[in-house]
């Protein structure tokens, strides 16, 4: 069965799934053979989750969803590049997903590395440098606001990343303006398993 949800209902479904996960009452929906068979011809995910690649941040598990429920894009430190934007535009423009979730988490290694680079002036080598350069504006904003903790910087980076998605993509911004989609920013606690809402763009 196909269910097209509003951004608010999509967020409620994720929130309820996260609550089940936090309390140890996950129901593991849509993970059986019949669900797998039903998805062979098409998919209708109700949200797209753009999150950090951290191994502890498995989207389907922490939101207690299953096959075909969420379209997932992950990069270290949830940094945006053209492939990320293309993937998100596909989810919005082709699949008709109503909700984009930007998912950061506490003690993020990529944000910690950026904080260190900003404070010491020592940039990492290789392509890790590219990650750090893309996270640096968020770290600098946090420092200007006298927020010196990594977890404060994570929240700032989630907020800035959410806004940058809207500023960078006409497909996403048009979907928000028409009320078809919204973007929310969440900060996940590795210890508690709770995903806290820290920003929202669009009608929720």
Residue ranges of the binding site for Zn(2+):
52, 54, 105, 108
Binding-site residues: 52, 54, 105, 108
Length of the chain measured in residues: 204
- The DSSP H or E segment spanning 50 is strand 47-52
Helices (H), 39-108: 59-62, 82-93
Q: Give CA separation, 18 vs 13, 74, 135, in Å.
A: 9, 18, 27
Distant-in-sequence, close-in-space partners of 73: CB < 8 Å, separation ≥ 6: 48, 49, 50, 51, 84, 87, 88, 91
Quote the distance between the C-alpha of residue 86 and its chain's center: 15
């Amino acid at each position: 069965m196909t269910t097209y949800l509003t951004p608010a209902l999509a967020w409620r479904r994720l929130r309820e799934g996260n609550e089940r996960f936090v309390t140890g009452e996950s129901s593991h929906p849509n993970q059986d053979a019949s669900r797998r068979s039903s998805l062979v011809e098409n998919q209708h995910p109700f949200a797209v989750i753009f999150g950090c690649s951290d191994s502890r941040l498995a989207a389907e598990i922490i939101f207690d969803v299953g096959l075909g429920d969420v379209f997932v894009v992950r990069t270290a430190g949830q940094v945006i590049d053209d492939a990320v934007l293309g993937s998100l535009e596909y989810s919005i423009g082709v699949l008709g997903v109503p909700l984009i979730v930007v998912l950061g988490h506490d003690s993020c290694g990529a944000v910690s590395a950026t904080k260190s680079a900003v404070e010491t002036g020592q940039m990492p080598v290789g392509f890790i440098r590219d990650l750090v350069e893309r996270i640096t504006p968020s770290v600098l904003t946090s420092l200007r606001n006298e927020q010196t903790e990594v977890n404060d910087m994570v929240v700032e980076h989630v907020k800035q990343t959410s806004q940058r998605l809207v500023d960078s993509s006409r497909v996403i911004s048009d979907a928000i303006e028409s009320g078809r989609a919204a973007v929310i920013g969440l900060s996940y606690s590795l210890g508690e398993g709770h995903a806290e809402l820290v920003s929202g763009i669009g009608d929720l």
